[in-house]
Structure 1
Amino acid sequence: MRTIPREVCLSETQKAVLVGTLLGDGAIKLHGKNARLHIKHSRNQLPLVLYKYFVFANFISMDVNVFEQRVGKKDYKFAEFVTHTHPEFTAYYDLFYPSFKKIVPANINVLLSNPLSFAVWIMDDGSAEYAGLSIQTHSFTAKDVQRLQEAILTNFEIETLTHKNKGRDIIYFPKQSLSKLRKQVFKFILPEFKYKFLPYSARIQTP
C-alpha cells in the first residue's frame, strides 16, 4: 500500500474543504497511530464525492466505491472513499473529536473563515426552505450551533436564526440573508447543488 510521507502537508484548498466537510457529513477516524478522512454520501451526491476525491487525490490510492447498503428495511445507494492515514488528518481529529464524538471546535471562528469551507458545508448539509435556506446541524449541541452562528456573523457578516427541527437546533438563513450568502459562496457551489439557494416559495408557478 502506498504511504504518504509525513512531510506532505494539506494545501490551503484541502484545509478549507476539510473544515467544510467535517462540519457536514465527513468523518475523520483513527486508524493505528494516525487518522484518515472518510467521505460517504448518497449516490445522488456523487458529483460532490468526486469533487472531494479530486481535492484529496494525493492522499488517496483507492477508487470511489459505489455500493448498496441496507438501512432499516430499505436498500440505499452510497458512494465513498477513504484517504490514507496521515498526521495532518490526526491534527484535525484532535480538534473535532476531543472525546471521540464530533464537536464544533472552540476556535471555529478561525477554522471557518474561508468561503470555500462555507460552500462545502452547505453542499453537504444545506437545504432549501420555503423562504430561505437551512443547514442541518442536528448532530451538534445548542452551544456548538451558537459557535457556528457567531463564526458566520464575524467572518461573513451574515445574520442567522435557529429553528427547531426534530428537537434540535438548525441554522436558518432568512430571505433577507440569502443575497449576501450567495455573494460569499455561490461561485464555489457545484452546479448540481445550486438549487439549495432557491427557496420553495420562488419555485411556485402562478397560473
Structure 2
Amino acid sequence: MSFTYSICGKLLGDGCITKQDGRKPRFQFMHRVEDVGWTQHCYEQLKRDIPVNPPAYRKVLDTRLKKGFSESYVVQSKTHEAITALYKIWYPNGKKVLPKQWIQQHLDERSLAWWYQDDGHLKIVKGIASKIYLSTDGFTKEENEFLMQWL
C-alpha cells in the first residue's frame, strides 16, 4: 500500500473506518468548512490509491452552536480490499485500537505531518513556537503512553 503514510496520519487524526452490519468497511474523514483546501488535498492524494468520493458539503442544524449550525466537508470511500485489510488491523473487535506494530512500521514524518494537519496545534508564546500538540483524546492511556514513547 503506497498510501500508508496518509492513511496512518488520517487514522491517528480525523479519519475512521466505518462498517455497517453485513457490509464491507469504508474509510471516511470530515473537516470544517474552513479547511476545504486540506480536505481537497487529502482527497486528491488518496484517490490515487483507493476509491474515494469527492468532498461533500454538509450542513448540520445544531441549536447548541452560536450560529445554530455547523458546516463541514466529508470524504467517504467506496469499498476496497485495502480498507477491509486496514479495518481488521485497526478495528479487530469492531472498536478502534492503535495497532502498535503497524504504527511502528508506518508512522513516519509524512504520516506525522498528516496527523498534525488533522489534529495538531502549534502553541506560540510571545511570537515564538513553544509546543506542538497532537490530539489523542480518543486513545486510551496505554495507547497514549505508546505514542509518546514511539514519537
The amino acid that maps onto 2:7 is L
For residue 111 of structure 1, what is the aligned residue in structure 2?
A: 106
1:99 is displaced (CA, Å) by 2.4
Question: Larger C-alpha radius of gyration, 1 or 2?
Answer: 1
1:100 is displaced (CA, Å) by 2.0
**Secondary structure of the structure 1 residue equivalent to 2:19:** strand
Write the deviation string for residues 117-147 of structure 1: whole angstroms up to 9, x where unpaired: 0100000110122421110101101110111
Q: How does 1:140-159 map to 2 (within 5 A)?
A: 140-152=139-151
Q: How does 1:84-95 map to 2 (within 5 A)?
A: 84-95=78-89
The amino acid that maps onto 2:149 is E
- Select 1:83's aligned residue among 77, 80, 105: 77
1:63 is displaced (CA, Å) by 2.8
Write the deviation string for residues 36-62 of structure 1: whole angstroms up to 9, x where unpaired: 211211111111111111012243363
The amino acid that maps onto 1:111 is H
Q: Distance in 1 between matches of 2:53 and 2:87?
A: 21
Which is bigger in relative contact order (C-alpha 8 A, separation at least 6)?
2
Contact 1:70 1:76 in 2 (8 A): yes
Q: Distance in 1 between matches of 2:47 and 2:106?
A: 22
- Select 1:101's aligned residue among 95, 100, 103: 95
Contact 2:25 2:84 in 1 (8 A): yes
For residue 188 of structure 1, what is the aligned residue in structure 2?
A: none
Write the deviation string for residues 83-115 of structure 1: whole angstroms up to 9, x where unpaired: 111110111111211222222112122221x21
Q: How does 1:112-191 map to 2 (within 5 A)?
A: 112=107, 114-129=108-123, 130=125, 131-152=130-151
Unaligned runs of 5+ in 2: none
| Greater helix proportion | 1
Unaligned runs of 5+ in 1: 1-9, 153-207
Aligned in 2, Cα 1:72/1:151: closer, same or farther, shift over 3 Å? farther
For residue 19 of structure 2, what is the aligned residue in structure 1?
A: 30
Once the two structures are aligned, what percentage of the paired residues are identical?
24
Q: Which runs of 4+ in 1 moved over 6 A?
A: none
TM-score normalised by structure 2 residue count: 0.83
| Number of positions where the alignment pairs a residue of Structure 1 with one of Structure 2 | 140
Give the root-mean-square deviation of aligned CA atoms: 1.8
1:81 is displaced (CA, Å) by 1.4
